Structure 1
């Protein structure tokens, strides 16, 4: 199991969204058949010790850890890889967006073999922070103390703001606050551009400017362009990375002309229209639809020229939505699509739940249909065999199910008024289970429909007398 993954991320500021939500989301891309679970980690009063199974990285964690949601691997053999969650202080974290630094900066500040990696970050940060900014600060201190073993982008959000943090080398990093009226789409590149060292909208590692100046990477009279100084700009980027940023931006800001191979796509943009959670789903499920680059379109002459956002090795996709003016257990929603985002359903789980359904907490190798992950993967494999044939049916079940899920959320919101903390937790738990039931029922019926229809799409069919 590789310890690095190739993901696509989205961050949305509160004034860029239609309802004032702050949202962060990501596709976790690693292996096509590698199950994920959804769990609630309970609050812990006592200090714990964390030791990585991927490296010798180890540290003592603070006492009084907060409750949080998480999406760990089915096995911890290679590390926990909790990847994304929301804690009981209303802070969301998604880690990580794998990135690449250039050879020159790594020559002067190489990665640390026993430094912190993606597999540990959510576990050692999310339970101990009460704001997005505090998340950047805690992770920055860990990088300073232990070093980083790889380049990564990390997403943080609270009810007021979203931050994107990029760890480029063994000890150097930058974090930028996403402007409230803007969004960012990031795809396996260092993306942050000009850093204003005097602005509260940026945080950075100690000695960053001195490091860049000492090694002739930057002259003080010029803008400090973190992407240019620390990142890459190669043919690989223009095939694998920048086209995905283009694909996200063309969806959310279609008024801005751009090319998929452009090296100067902006880190953040204003959307043409206020964004809903469905817009984040559309980005994470995108594969260049309605362009000549769509690999599912048999008429697309360049269907495999660029790496799409949604692809077969997505383990799970999530959008962490922090909604305003609601009590915590109901306000924050961990939307989860198991398997390939384009072929799955984003199901809403309330972050204040005390437990999630059994089928979301099980599933491994070999495959078993008592697992939500494998149920959605089964539907995806059946769709893959005849994608164009089933695309309209797929869209119909996704849209119809989503409408039912939105209605279920509205019912929970209404029922939450005036409830005590314990009753809110109970409501979040039962409402999350109800949402899983809605999606499960719809997709099991859809899967059986796919199976039935597929029986007559075999290459072994032969036109003959119907009576023979």
Structure 2
């Protein structure tokens, strides 16, 4: 990885942190026979820097014509290679913001053909190997090799299947070369491939098995391969020849294959920081503590496990080895405050291609963030917060909203300390409940979207996009409310508890989406349980001197008025109701009792004739009166 090392910025009210090395990403894979619902899951944490903001956006198709050339449009590298389609495919991508000085670095995405990709876990071959086929420097050479900066964009803009994506990447390494060593995944509805870029012109890719799982940190792990098995292995033409001619060849350990790739190209054993992550991930998913990983010259990367869920994969992405005893300090955990984003792809092979892959991901560290689901193959746009470009802290950007919660819950470089107990424990408790609820709701959403596919397919992209924007916005509402609650607790010197936020408040189904406008020549579109109520209102509440609270609302489209309710009981068994007009969106509640905690919520309404139609209640705000 050629990213520049970054010094950490100071966030207002926060301490400075020291930058750490970039090579701490962790990839993971779970075959469909190992999951509870029979879906395949794979993904990665990008462990690099808590400052390295990310955006999630849609790259629109572009007509490039015949014999077009892909060029790094950021100018960060000199890489260029052929584009084999005349019009590129639309795709979603999570990558660095536009102003990043070292390029885009696309981390994951899905294109309209249902091809998904996760890149990369950086690695490198043994020093004695690299000199025989060095990397083609993409930052200095006139014509550089492909690197993490370009990988995802280059493949997703033109691959129509996972196999084609593997072959595109293989071809470009054969002809142009690679600028670095990497491990990455390319998948579609039917298969997942793991691809290791070893040297400047050598690589190996294998089709992943359905009955195994794997944890892959920053090291090469592909072992014995049979190069004649073309259905399951794609390798560079000189993979064996280079190793044999230069004295680093190691035969397949099973006596059947042509080469053991790991032992040949990266040597014996695993560095401790990589072995720790393999051990930790295997323990969380299987319950087996693989202490032998430290002593092994080589271990097959695959292991068995059962009943893995999305929630479990979310836990894996933020896992800090809770419940394990390593007997020493750990430098690199799977879950880290340095994580810029984490993701999994959940693939259901029984669904249509457009709906088969659900992209779950979190901005910033999933230790204090949450996975959010999107149908990446169908999106034409995303929530504004997720695509907001902001290299500095910004309350409107999804990355920084989640990152700032992390800062409040951390005190040291490794994230330990009193704040992890005082604030972080409540955050993790809420997001665990959030993920349980979201995974269950996704099953219902899949059924709803399948109904749209069967009865109103021309509007499938519309529903997926509007739903993605809605759940993105709702997730931001929860995160903002949480951040303000923690700030209040910090001011009051109290622990953060989630009593003012409940996973039961999650709304996630097609009732969030207004049916598309009907054209004159249209048949009637499918309208999935649409509500005509106004949108959920956003609320802020601040305690004032004199036993008062100032309540502020954000204007809601179509609202004709608002209703505010407050109570000393979170269940609002005894409550007081106040009305507020659209002309003045603030209300000061007076004559409250000191040393009492008040819970406040609001809703908007519009008129259907003379009847008031109310929207959903806002998230609950909690305010304590001190004086």
TM over 0.5: yes
CA distance, structure 2, for counterparts of residue 436 and residue 40 of structure 1: 14
2:33 aligned with 1:15: yes
Equivalent residues in 2 for 1:420-435 (5 A)?
A: 420-435=456-471
CA distance, structure 2, for counterparts of residue 324 and residue 109 of structure 1: 39
2:265 aligned with 1:239: no
Q: Counterpart of 1:112?
A: 136
CA distance, structure 1, for counterparts of residue 288 and residue 48 of structure 2: 33
Contact 1:111/1:149 (CA < 8 Å) preserved in 2? yes
Find 1:278's aligned residue among 311, 336, 346. Answer: 311
Find 1:201's aligned residue among 232, 238, 250. Answer: 232
**Cα 1:106–1:324 shift into 2, 3 Å:** same
Find 2:488's aligned residue among 437, 452, 458. Answer: 452
1:269-326 residue CA offsets vs partner (Å, 9 max, x unmatched): 111x122222222221111111235xxxxxxx63x33410111221111111222333
Displacement, 1:129? Answer: 1.5
Displacement, 1:41? Answer: 1.6
2:407 aligned with 1:381: yes
Displacement, 1:422? Answer: 2.8
1:343-394 residue CA offsets vs partner (Å, 9 max, x unmatched): 1111111211211011101132221101011100111111114002234312
Match of 1:38, SS state, is strand
Moved over 6 A (4+): none
Structure having greater relative contact order (Cα 8 Å, sep ≥ 6): 1
CA distance, structure 2, for counterparts of residue 35 and residue 221 of structure 1: 42
Equivalent residues in 2 for 1:262-273 (5 A)?
A: 262-263=295-296, 264-271=298-305, 273=306
Contact 2:189/2:356 (CA < 8 Å) preserved in 1? no
CA distance, structure 2, for counterparts of residue 161 and residue 18 of structure 1: 18
Q: Counterpart of 1:362?
A: 388
CA distance, structure 2, for counterparts of residue 137 and residue 79 of structure 1: 25
**Cα 1:310–1:213 shift into 2, 3 Å:** same
Match of 1:455, SS state, is helix
Q: Counterpart of 1:307?
A: 332
**Cα 1:270–1:56 shift into 2, 3 Å:** same
**Cα 1:215–1:27 shift into 2, 3 Å:** same
Displacement, 1:134? Answer: 1.8
Find 1:226's aligned residue among 261, 270, 288. Answer: 261
Unpaired runs of at least 5, structure 1: 294-300, 459-465
Contact 2:180/2:199 (CA < 8 Å) preserved in 1? yes
CA distance, structure 1, for counterparts of residue 56 and residue 337 of structure 2: 20
CA distance, structure 2, for counterparts of residue 2 and residue 327 of structure 1: 41
Contact 2:363/2:369 (CA < 8 Å) preserved in 1? yes
CA distance, structure 2, for counterparts of residue 420 and residue 402 of structure 1: 30
Q: Counterpart of 2:352?
A: 327
CA distance, structure 1, for counterparts of residue 261 and residue 94 of structure 2: 31
Contact 1:84/1:94 (CA < 8 Å) preserved in 2? yes
| TM-score when normalising by structure 1 | 0.90
Contact 2:311/2:435 (CA < 8 Å) preserved in 1? no
Find 1:73's aligned residue among 96, 105, 110. Answer: 96
CA distance, structure 1, for counterparts of residue 430 and residue 147 of structure 2: 38
Equivalent residues in 2 for 1:94-105 (5 A)?
A: 94-105=118-129
Find 2:70's aligned residue among 50, 60, 65. Answer: 50
Match of 1:341, SS state, is coil
Contact 2:26/2:334 (CA < 8 Å) preserved in 1? yes
Displacement, 1:454? Answer: 1.4
Comparing 393-402 with 84-93, greater Cα deviation is found at 393-402
Q: Counterpart of 2:52?
A: 34
Q: Counterpart of 1:288?
A: 321
1:152-190 residue CA offsets vs partner (Å, 9 max, x unmatched): 001112222211111111111111111111111100001
**Cα 1:5–1:45 shift into 2, 3 Å:** farther
Displacement, 1:191? Answer: 0.7
Q: Counterpart of 2:4?
A: 2
Which has more strand, going by share of residues?
2
1:375-415 residue CA offsets vs partner (Å, 9 max, x unmatched): 00111111114002234312221023224433543343232
Find 1:124's aligned residue among 142, 154, 172. Answer: 154
1:48-76 residue CA offsets vs partner (Å, 9 max, x unmatched): 54323232112342323222110121125
Q: Counterpart of 1:338?
A: 363
Contact 2:385/2:473 (CA < 8 Å) preserved in 1? no
How many positions carry a matched residue from both structures?
A: 450
CA distance, structure 2, for counterparts of residue 78 and residue 420 of structure 1: 43
Displacement, 1:44? Answer: 2.9
1:176-230 residue CA offsets vs partner (Å, 9 max, x unmatched): 1111111111000011111122223221101211111111222668652111111
Contact 2:337/2:406 (CA < 8 Å) preserved in 1? no
Contact 1:187/1:245 (CA < 8 Å) preserved in 2? yes
2:234 aligned with 1:211: no
1:238-260 residue CA offsets vs partner (Å, 9 max, x unmatched): 33211101111111122464346
CA distance, structure 2, for counterparts of residue 402 and residue 204 of structure 1: 39
Contact 2:166/2:186 (CA < 8 Å) preserved in 1? yes
**Cα 1:439–1:164 shift into 2, 3 Å:** same
Larger gyration radius, structure 1 or structure 2: 2
Match of 1:164, SS state, is strand
CA distance, structure 2, for counterparts of residue 219 and residue 155 of structure 1: 25
CA distance, structure 1, for counterparts of residue 115 and residue 189 of structure 2: 7
